[in-house]
Amino acid sequence: MCGRFTVKATWAELVALYRLTIDAPPHNLRPRYSVCPTDPVDVVTAAAGKRELAPMRGSLVPRWWNKSLKELRMATFNARAEMVETKPVFRDAFRRTRCLIPMSGYYEWQATAGGKQLGYFTAADGSPPLTAAGLWDEWKDHAILVLAAFALATLSRLRTGAFLTYIFVIAPLALGPFLTAFLIPKTSAFGP
């Protein structure tokens, strides 16, 4: 988990759900049925009292990383909620820059005798987007590349409930009523 997810929300749904500041004209968002770990995807950020939809690359690259992207051999797409405050690659982003990741559902693979097979897809027909917690940072290489990238916050199976424990090793950290509080970096980890 959680390497791939879907996003099928419309511009109007995202503006209403996240109370986005609308400085840009409405535009069509194409459905994405398999967002991979390094794909660009729209996330919700908050700064200076504004909430905006910003395109970012999956797999966080911390701003202090001083080597090339090819040399980043850490898996930084998922950030386990139990470690975001202490693990160096996520710690600064957790303290400073958080985001909301809209998704319609996510996939989980199962190991089988024939290799990994898609086992489960989680989404309810007609339900509003799931909001996952995320961390983001902006990395600059030695030339002119500026890369905004995010990590999806996840929970271990021991904290996700009986049904999810059976299916998922780790699952996205769904914020529910805590999404506004989560965007404020001065707040504690996740919920009360």
Assess contact for 84 and 94: CB atoms under 8 A.
yes
- Grouping H, G, I as helix, E, B as strand and the rest as coil, residue 159 is helix
Whole-model pTM: value is 0.81
* Every domain of the chain and the residues it spans: 5-182
Model confidence at 10: pLDDT above 70: yes
Given the structure tokens 């030695």, which residue do they identify? 142
> Is the CA virtual torsion 3, 173, 97, 32 positive or negative?
positive
Mean pLDDT of 137-166: 66
CATH code of domain 5-182: 3.90.1680.10
45 confidence band (pLDDT: 50, 70, 90) = very high
Task: Look at 26-40, 84-98, 134-148, 159-173 and tell me which has the smallest mean pLDDT.
Answer: 159-173
- The pLDDT assigned to 166 comes to 44
- The pLDDT assigned to 146 comes to 75
Q: Which residues pair with 42 in a beta bridge?
A: 55
The whole-angstrom separation of Cα 179 and Cα 99 is 9
Q: What is the mean pLDDT of the chain?
A: 78
Residue 8 CA: distances (Å) to CA of 12, 103, 144, 189: 12, 7, 33, 28
Assess contact for 108 and 153: CB atoms under 8 A.
no
> Is the CA virtual torsion 33, 39, 41, 46 positive or negative?
positive
